Chain A
Amino acid sequence: MNKQRRQFLEKTLSTACGVGMLGAALLIHSRSSSALPAQAIRPPGALAEEDFLGACIRCGLCVRDCPYDILKLAQAGEDTPIGTPYFTARTAACEMCDDIPCVPACPTGALSHDLTDIEQARMGLAVMIDQEACIAFLGLRCEVCFNICPVRGKAISITRRHNVRSGQHALFIPVVHSEACTGCGKCEQACILEKAAIKVLPTHLAQGQLGEHYRLGWREKQKAGEALVTPDQMHEYNLPEGMHYDHAGEGLMMDDSVDDTPFSSNPLDTLKRGQDTLRSDKP
């Protein structure tokens, strides 16, 4: 092998080796800095995070066209991948403009231009994350998240539940519905607590998934219009006279019409009945 050729090969090899090592370092750096923190929410229409990081050109045109200035480009040293747009719901949530100006501003389609109806946006999913702190679970009336929700009544509804503590009141529990929640973050921003009990999370963190093999019998039954298997025999209880069993409701019931009660003739005994059980229900 002549000298020139040897020199050329040596040089090429050392350059390739150096560049390769640099590439590995760059790869590790970019890998470790490409995870989106849970509280950073992408603008409406953003592609799935993996695709978004390949499509977003980091120009900030969406930031400039947001009329409420809620979007920011991640700066060096922040957890969000550098230069990419995001907002923090607790600080300033998406106002859900009808014309979604940030989306057509995107020159690369990292914010998909297919999104034209803001109610179809899925920036994340609100989750009632701390039931211990939410005052609705303590039996207090609040419903601020329900009332501020831009998809009012559909994305968050109020479900009434029995207040076991007082035994005589209702809890007005906010429940999020994933089929309508856009992840705008208004509920998190408005939550009256020191730290929000309801938070918008990336959908992949917020949502569980039922195994694909699950079939919900009652839905299948409804779809088919009849039971798909041999119908269950109605179970018959051997109950004392004057009692019956309510299968889809309260359970064991006493017939009102029966006069012959199994209770003492002293009315006070009847009035105090059940008090002990109620007491023991208290925490």
Chain B
Amino acid sequence: MHDKTRPGQEAIEIKGWWRAHQWLLLRRLSQAMILLLFLSGPWWGIWIFKGNLSASLLLDTVPMTDPYLLLQILLTQHLPEMLGGVGAVLVLGFYLLVGGRMYCSWVCPLNVVTDSAAWLRNRLDLKSSWRLSRSIRYWLLGLTLLLTLLTGTLVWESLNPVSLLHRGVLFGMGIGWLVILGIFLFDVLIMRHGWCGHLCPVGAFYSLLGRVTPLRISTTQRAACNDCLDCFRVCPEPQVITAALKDKQHQPLIDESQCTNCGRCIDVCSQDVFALSLKKTSQIDN
């Protein structure tokens, strides 16, 4: 019998454990490496990335700046230095190329927390969840920008758990763990995919950058789908799958800016329906 609390069991049996976890492992590796490249400086004096995800310097030469933060700074009517501006353009270009929400699933340290929460929720088979529109994050995004404009200070940064966690790991957390624990418990007990899937304005901002990327998950083998629903169980944004998988009129491509390109659907599908591909080639296949 299919165990709903352990999505991916069938894939493990057919493809083997490694192939059923390869994208997840790659992602964890990416998240760990990025953190390590920041930590190697303070820990061992080997400075690769200096600063944190808000703004950093790679090998003391290449600047990188969070474009969402830079936008907020511009809204306070402060013109940043060249260094910060160039950094923001670089990061902006990168995420336009690979899909904005790659940030969420491959870089953001909070992803590990909310993924763990989603995993635990699945295992405990918790069903009750608040229902909120997934577009509420865009409202919150607008709210943070509006408040920044009105107050002239980076209001959102006084709470932002994304920067709080990354900065905390690198520079000292204080009682910030409480905020992270709060988000974990919120995601487990109160709302399924509550933070990353509904509320986070940082993810909302990056999803807006996801419209032009050629890097997308395709569903060219969708005829092989056996309706096990495992992809829906692991996907942090399951609403993006439906059309590409089930609607025969729809192109076999998850061309949704809310998709984080995490690749977990590729892992858990025993029928290899999903694949990471370039938008153009999959359209030609179509």
Contacts and interface: CB of A to CB of B under 8 A. Distances in A.
Nearest to A107: B84
B175 A76 contact: yes
Interface of A: 11, 15-16, 18-20, 22-23, 26-27, 29-31, 33-34, 47, 50-51, 53-61, 63-65, 72-73, 75-78, 81-83, 105-110, 113
Contacts of A19: 136, 139-140, 143
B51 A59 contact: yes
Interface string B45-71: 001001110111100000101100110
A54 B154 contact: yes
Question: Which 3 pairs from chain A and chain B are nearest by CB?
Answer: A75-B174, A54-B76, A76-B176
Given A19-B139, A22-B140, A55 B163 contact: no
B78 A109 contact: yes
B133 interface: yes
Interface residues of B, number: 56
B133 A11 contact: yes
B54 A76 contact: no
A27 B155 contact: yes
A34 B153 contact: yes
Interface of B: 41-42, 47, 50-52, 54-57, 63, 65-66, 69-70, 73, 76-81, 83-84, 87, 133, 136, 139-140, 143-144, 146-148, 151-159, 163-164, 167-168, 170-176, 178-179
A54 B73 contact: yes
30 contacts: A15-B133, A18-B136, A27-B147, A29-B158, A30-B151, A31-B151, A50-B152, A51-B78, A51-B152, A57-B69, A58-B54, A59-B56, A61-B50, A61-B57, A63-B171, A64-B42, A64-B47, A64-B50, A73-B172, A75-B168, A76-B175, A76-B176, A82-B158, A83-B157, A83-B164, A107-B84, A108-B84, A109-B78, A110-B78, A113-B81
A109 B173 contact: no
Given A60-B52, A83-B167, A75 B176 contact: yes
A186 to B, nearest CB: 25
A270 B124 CA distance: 103
B155 A15 contact: no
B78 A60 contact: no
Nearest to B69: A57
B163 A27 contact: no
A122 to B, nearest CB: 19
Contact of A59 (B52, B77, B153, B159): B52
Nearest to A27: B147
Residue with the greatest number of chain B CB neighbours at <10 A, chosen from A11, A26, A65: A26
A67 B184 CA distance: 37
Contacts of B136: 15, 18-19
Nearest to B152: A54
Residue with the greatest number of chain B CB neighbours at <10 A, chosen from A61, A76, A106, A113: A76
B173 to A, nearest CB: 6
A72 B172 contact: yes
B181 to A, nearest CB: 12
Nearest to B175: A77
B258 to A, nearest CB: 17
A53 B133 CA distance: 32
Contacts of B54: 57-59, 83
Given A23-B146, A73-B171, A83-B157, A107 B140 contact: no
Contacts of A27: 147, 151, 155
Given A59-B52, A63-B171, A30 B84 contact: no
A254 to B, nearest CB: 67
A76 B83 contact: no
A60 B171 contact: yes
Contact of A107 (B87, B133, B146): B87
A64 to B, nearest CB: 5
